[in-house]
Amino acid sequence: MSNATHNPQLNSHGELNHLLSIEGLSREMLTRILDTAVPFTEVAEREVKKVPLLRGKSVFNLFFENSTRTRTTFEIAAKRLSADVINLNINTSSASKGETLLDTADNLAAMQADMFVVRHAASGAPYLMAQHLATTGQDHIHIINAGDGRHAHPTQGLLDMYTIRHYKQDFTQLTVAIVGDVLHSRVARSQIHALTTLGVPEVRVIAPKTLLPSGIERLGVRVFNDMKEGLRGVDVVMMLRLQNERMQGALLPSAQEYFKSYGLTVDKLALARPDAIVMHPGPMNRGVEIESAVADGAQAVILPQVTFGIAVRMAVMAMLAGA
């Protein structure tokens, strides 16, 4: 019965003002983002890989948590749109001196930023920033969530959808499996929301019970603890990264046992449809969650995912900037 129900990523016209999560966005909105990304894939093939859509705009990459791949792809996307890009690795600067998240936001806003790309270890951190910008009259600064805690990684979810659409065209005829550490994965949550919103009739999650959050089935997925059973007849296999440090302790007994039960091998992949594609958000742990023969095999579309990711991020930035 509390009052905090307004979706803070939409403006008063229901248009996207920030990209904080896939959840709450319409199928039309997701499709529009994917459609917008299509022409941007061609920019990479030009001799001069730039368009002037964000010329004169300042994009701040605020990474409160380490990242190389995501930060780089956002940087490339912004630069291809001709924006000025400022990279801040905040866990080695102000935050470590005690500055709060919102103080950091205020200071950067005072530097006339136009867009914040935010990665943070705490779920909901970009929401907090968006709400703060709204209350301080600065919501002309757009926020893109580049991964918050275990909550969301919406551009990763969108680039995954772009990849699926590229190879499979029609979402409404697919069976998709998400395999691995769903409990700790912001990517999995964004994938689930994107797939269900786009009309995929069966989304499966496959993992041991220790790596599945309670109530996950309420997000519209079918739960499998047996990987072989879960992979049977699927069109798309989306693997998740398993962090080695989480392999210890009480969640899993060993990397070896995990690989045996939940690692994607050629044999297990054979249970999926013959034309099934294999995806991975990277970086991969070969021999832990995926066998090299699969990762480098004909069904893997892991590198195209990365390429499409830049186009999708360009599309999101361009749309937020109203370009």
Partner 1 sequence: MNVHIRGGRLIDPANGVDKHTDLFIAEGRIVGAGDTAPAGFKASTILDATGCIVCPGLIDLSARLREPGFEYKATLESEMAAAAAGGVTRLACPPDTDPVLDEPGLVEMLTHRARLPEFPHVHPIGALTVQLGGKKLTEMAELSEAGCVAFGQANQAIVDTQVLLHAMNYAATFDFPVWLQAQDPFLAQLGVAHDGEVAARLGLTGIPVAAETIALATLLQLARETGVRLHVTRISSAASVDMIVAARAAGIAVTCDTAVHYLHLCDHDIGFFNAHARLDPPLRTQRDRDALRAGLASGAITAVCSDHTPVDDDGKQKPFGEAEIGATGLELLLPLTLKWAQEMRVPLLTALARITSDPAHIMGVNAGRLDAGLPADICVFDPAADFHVSRKNLKSQGKNTPFLGLDLPGRVRYTLINGYLAYDGTTQPESY
Q: Which two tokens stand for residue 109?
A: 């806003």
**Contact status: 101 vs partner 1 (CB under 8 A):** yes
- Binding-site positions for L-aspartate read 97, 186, 241
**Contact status: 148 vs partner 1 (CB under 8 A):** yes
For partner 1, the binding residue among 56, 68, 214, 283 (CB under 8 A) is 214
**Contact status: 110 vs partner 1 (CB under 8 A):** no
**Contact status: 2 vs partner 1 (CB under 8 A):** yes
- Candidates 280, 264, 263; CA nearest to 272 is 264
126 vs 263, beta carbon nearer partner 1: 126
**Shortest spacing between CB 114 and partner 1, in angstroms:** 23
**Shortest spacing between CB 277 and partner 1, in angstroms:** 26
User: How distant is the alpha carbon of residue 74 from its chain centre?
Assistant: 12
DSSP 286: B
Q: Is 32 helix (H, G, I), strand (E, B) or coil?
A: helix
- Candidates 211, 295, 278; CA nearest to 249 is 211
**Contact status: 51 vs partner 1 (CB under 8 A):** no
223 vs 271, beta carbon nearer partner 1: 223
Residue 89: enclosing H or E segment and its boundaries? Answer: strand 84-89
For 286-320, give one letter per residue: b (16+ CB within 10 A) or e. Answer: eebbbbeebbeeebbbbebbbebbbbbbbbbbbbb
**Shortest spacing between CB 148 and partner 1, in angstroms:** 7
**Contact status: 304 vs partner 1 (CB under 8 A):** no
CA distances from 19 to 30, 157, 268, 277 (A): 11, 12, 36, 27
For partner 1, the binding residue among 113, 152, 174, 203 (CB under 8 A) is 152
**Piece in contact with partner 1 (CB under 8 A), picked from 1-9, 40-48, 73-81, 264-272:** 1-9
**Cβ neighbour number for residue 159 with a 10 Å cutoff:** 29
Q: Which two tokens stand for residue 24?
A: 């709450």
Instruction: Write out the residues near partner 1 by the rule CB under 8 A.
Output: 1-8, 23, 100-102, 120, 122-125, 127-128, 131-132, 148-152, 186, 189, 213-216, 218-219
